[in-house]
A and B are shown apart, each in its own frame.
Chain A
Amino acid sequence: MKRRLTWDFLMVRYPAFFPLILMILSIAINLFLQPKMFDRETLNSNMRVFLPLILLAVGQAIVLLGGGIDISVGGVVSIVNTILATRVGLDGSPEKMWQFVMISLLVGALAGAINGFFIAYLRLQPIITTYATSFLYAGLALFILPNPGGGIPSNIANLYRTSTPLGLPLAFYVIAILLLIWFYVSSTRYGKYLFAVGGKATAAYETAVPVTRMQFSIYVISGFMAALAGIAITMLSGSGNAEIGGQMTLNSITAVVIGGNAFSGGIGGVAGPVMGAMTLNLIQNIISFAHINTWWETLAKALIIVLALAVPGIINLIRRRRA
């Protein structure tokens, strides 16, 4: 039997369908306001700014899928940024840089493991636990680097900023690799378990899913992704600032939800959140290119985001009225 391609079917089977429409729409508007958007230079300079939030959103997406939430990711970004900026320094050698990149990834995974330990093994509530650890991490970042400063060598930063293999921005390759990994993982047992735990943890437990270990692992993944985001944003800015990650946490959650993942877990994927993060960044671009009065910028951005969140619900309401 051939399944009919209805709206309901699309929305349920492909949660990334609506975010795709949103992203295409925002690309179109952006292109209209900034005709040179697809030039190699412009495209790269946009994508390198977008990548940190995309990386963060991927980690957050995994956590939300598994039924949790991680509001400490911004703190991890800050820690990684301050570690790189203070330990590598503006005149550090490439070897030193890669060494501390590895250490940063370990630190990120460790920070995630701390969250995971409290949430999975001590069974604390995710929001409040990661809120508490966000203070620990943000405080630690500020301890490492009390005042903005330090940095990484500009030739290494340029590796991130200007490399365009085969004429495409570096970020495209990173996103492609992440999506490939996700498509592989979601078909493995781990992927099945992830959806099971996020859908209903008690039911998953009764069907012999290692719920505790799964919950632990999602926070480690999130910490690791936050460290990647921290590395990306450090290479982008080239300098250190302990407050750099603070604003990113809530954005990453918005990106994931705009990306079609259910906040309560168990529904969604990673492609949607990547598009959600793109859309959020594009909205920011649109606002700045539209020459809106500075006073109105915050309101305009917030209204667009609320609208993007509301549209699926509005469509459903109208459809239910008609039925």
Chain B
Amino acid sequence: MRRFTISPPVAALILAIVLFLLSGFLPNSYGSDVKVALSQATNILRLSVFLGVIAAGQTLVIISGFEGIDLSAGSIVTLTAILTYVMVKGENNMVLPAILVSLVVGALIGLLNGAGITFLKISPFVMTLGMSGVVTGAIIILNHGNVSGKVAPIMTRLIARPISPGIPIPGAIVIWIIFGVLMWLLLERTTFGKNLFAIGVNRVTAKLSGVNVTGMNLATYSLAGLLAGFGGFLLVGNTGVVLIQLGQPFLFPSIAAVAVGGTLLSGGKGSYWGSMAGAIVLTLITSLLTTMQMPDSVRRMVLGGTLLILISIYGRQQALRQ
């Protein structure tokens, strides 16, 4: 008999929907008003976009295996958000250069991560942690306590506002869907994607099969930096202001989103759909806890407990005894 199995992304998505429906029973929630419920759902989706985009780079490095992880993602997000903010200064024609700078700066930081990990054999966890410190230090110097700038109207228009007056879907969600399709193409339909899974499963066999492991490693970390840079650009387009701690709160949730989405933290198996679903679940839980107006302490405990339950459902590794 076939055992009943359900893929993690689907499970996470079902969980999100169930949680959202149940949240209707909460005292200060949408109740029986469908219109309010829909707008609340759209809002939660919109908030998930930023975590989702930041989790994209994380998904890549985690799939690449070898304890792959990117702890510098949060500080890259802050850095590129500040760069965008300062460069754009409210002018629409500066948006394109700002995007380019964000992507290039992110990719360069990622490349440094990759170089340290590949050539100096520093473990990804500490290398990216150290890099996060360096980037934070650079932000503090750049920032000197205050920055002056402004996001451009076109960014707010494209990211935070609905795509057209008739359709109440914010542009960020559309961007995310396109982004998701691109990520799927990258992972499932390109040589890069195939090689990525190959080095995640086993570096030695991948190398023997002709995969350029060094090049892949450098490319993966650069790409992860680039995606974090893009995340920073999107985030500032939504918030409209920058803070020195803008990106850091997204760091560990981005790893959790990947894990909740069923990607193995040991590498070699996973999908970006999963991370998207994970990002939605995590954002949903966080915003529900905020609506319930619980004290911070209880909120943290509930979040930790929920995360434990989520990963207990399908995050289990193989038994030693086979």
Tell me the A residues contacting B by CB distance below 8 Å: 69, 118, 122-125, 127-129, 131-143, 146, 201-202, 205, 211-212, 242, 250, 253-254, 257, 262-264, 295-303, 305-306, 309-310, 312-314, 316-317
A127 to chain B, nearest CB (A): 6
A257:B123 contact, CB within 8 angstroms: yes
B126:A202 contact, CB within 8 angstroms: no
The residues of A that contact B131 with a CB separation of less than 8 Å are 306
Given A140-B301, A264-B123, decide whether A299 and B134 contact each other with a Cβ distance below 8 A: yes
A136:B301 contact, CB within 8 angstroms: yes
B321:A205 contact, CB within 8 angstroms: yes
- Report how far A254 CA is from B126 CA in the complex, Å: 6
A selection of 23 A-B contacts at a CB cut-off of 8 Å is: A122-B312, A122-B316, A123-B317, A123-B318, A125-B311, A125-B315, A127-B265, A129-B308, A131-B307, A133-B308, A135-B303, A139-B298, A139-B304, A257-B125, A263-B67, A263-B125, A295-B141, A295-B144, A302-B133, A305-B130, A306-B116, A313-B116, A313-B122
B64 to chain A, nearest CB (A): 15
Binary per-residue interface labels of chain B (281-311) against chain A in the complex, 1 for a CB within 8 Å, 0 otherwise = 0000000000000011111111111011001
A135:B307 contact, CB within 8 angstroms: yes
Given A143-B301, A313-B120, decide whether A124 and B144 contact each other with a Cβ distance below 8 A: no
Chain A binding site: helix, strand, loop or mixed by DSSP? Answer: helix
- Give the contacting residue for A139; candidates B130, B140, B297, B319; CB below 8 A: B297
- Report how far A56 CA is from B270 CA in the complex, Å: 33
A184 to chain B, nearest CB (A): 28
- Report how far A298 CA is from B321 CA in the complex, Å: 47
B256 contacts partner chain A, Cβ-Cβ < 8 Å: yes
The residues of B that contact A143 with a CB separation of less than 8 Å are 295, 297-298, 301
B311:A138 contact, CB within 8 angstroms: no
The residues of A that contact B123 with a CB separation of less than 8 Å are 257, 262-264
A201:B320 contact, CB within 8 angstroms: yes
A314:B120 contact, CB within 8 angstroms: yes
- Give the contacting residue for A124; candidates B67, B69, B137, B316; CB below 8 A: B316
A315 to chain B, nearest CB (A): 10
A306:B125 contact, CB within 8 angstroms: no
- Report how far A262 CA is from B127 CA in the complex, Å: 13
A128:B256 contact, CB within 8 angstroms: yes
The residues of A that contact B252 with a CB separation of less than 8 Å are 131
Given A254-B126, A254-B129, decide whether A128 and B298 contact each other with a Cβ distance below 8 A: no
B140:A317 contact, CB within 8 angstroms: no
The residues of B that contact A242 with a CB separation of less than 8 Å are 297
B296:A142 contact, CB within 8 angstroms: yes
- Report how far A262 CA is from B301 CA in the complex, Å: 32
B87 contacts partner chain A, Cβ-Cβ < 8 Å: no
A264 to chain B, nearest CB (A): 6
A243 to chain B, nearest CB (A): 11
B116:A310 contact, CB within 8 angstroms: yes
- Give the contacting residue for B297; candidates A134, A142, A250, A263; CB below 8 A: A142
- Give the contacting residue for A317; candidates B120, B259, B315, B319; CB below 8 A: B120
Tell me the B residues contacting A by CB distance below 8 Å: 67, 69, 116, 119-123, 125-127, 129-131, 133-134, 136-138, 140-141, 144, 252, 255-256, 259, 264-266, 295-305, 307-308, 311-312, 315-321
The residues of A that contact B129 with a CB separation of less than 8 Å are 250, 253-254
The residues of B that contact A129 with a CB separation of less than 8 Å are 308, 311
Residue among A128, A296, A298 with max Cβ neighbours from chain B (10 Å): A128
The residues of B that contact A146 with a CB separation of less than 8 Å are 295-297
Known: A125-B315, A131-B252, A295-B144. 5 other contacts (CB 8 A): A123-B319, A137-B304, A306-B127, A306-B134, A309-B116
- Report how far A313 CA is from B119 CA in the complex, Å: 7
- Report how far A69 CA is from B71 CA in the complex, Å: 15
A124:B321 contact, CB within 8 angstroms: no
- Give the contacting residue for A257; candidates B126, B299, B308; CB below 8 A: B126
Give the residue name and chain of the B residue nearest to A132 (CB): B307
A118 to chain B, nearest CB (A): 7
B137:A127 contact, CB within 8 angstroms: no
B217 to chain A, nearest CB (A): 14
The residues of B that contact A118 with a CB separation of less than 8 Å are 308, 312
- Give the contacting residue for B137; candidates A138, A257, A296; CB below 8 A: A296
B111 to chain A, nearest CB (A): 15
The residues of A that contact B307 with a CB separation of less than 8 Å are 128, 131-132, 135
B141:A125 contact, CB within 8 angstroms: no
- Give the contacting residue for B256; candidates A131, A202, A310; CB below 8 A: A131
The residues of B that contact A133 with a CB separation of less than 8 Å are 304, 308
Residue among B116, B136, B300 with max Cβ neighbours from chain A (10 Å): B300
Given A127-B255, A132-B311, A136-B305, decide whether A299 and B320 contact each other with a Cβ distance below 8 A: no
A300:B137 contact, CB within 8 angstroms: yes
A134:B304 contact, CB within 8 angstroms: yes
- Give the contacting residue for A125; candidates B116, B119, B134, B317; CB below 8 A: B317
A305:B133 contact, CB within 8 angstroms: yes
A64 to chain B, nearest CB (A): 10
The residues of A that contact B295 with a CB separation of less than 8 Å are 142-143, 146
Ordered nearest first, which 6 A-B pairs have the shortest CB separation?
A: A299-B137, A313-B120, A135-B304, A302-B133, A139-B300, A263-B123
B3 to chain A, nearest CB (A): 18
B259:A125 contact, CB within 8 angstroms: yes
Given A299-B138, A313-B121, A314-B120, decide whether A132 and B304 contact each other with a Cβ distance below 8 A: yes
The residues of A that contact B321 with a CB separation of less than 8 Å are 205
A260 to chain B, nearest CB (A): 12
- Give the contacting residue for B127; candidates A297, A299, A309; CB below 8 A: A309
Give the residue name and chain of the A residue nearest to B120 (CB): A313
Give the residue name and chain of the B residue nearest to A251 (CB): B129
A128:B259 contact, CB within 8 angstroms: yes
Give the residue name and chain of the B residue nearest to A212 (CB): B320
Given A299-B141, A310-B120, A310-B122, decide whether A127 and B69 contact each other with a Cβ distance below 8 A: yes
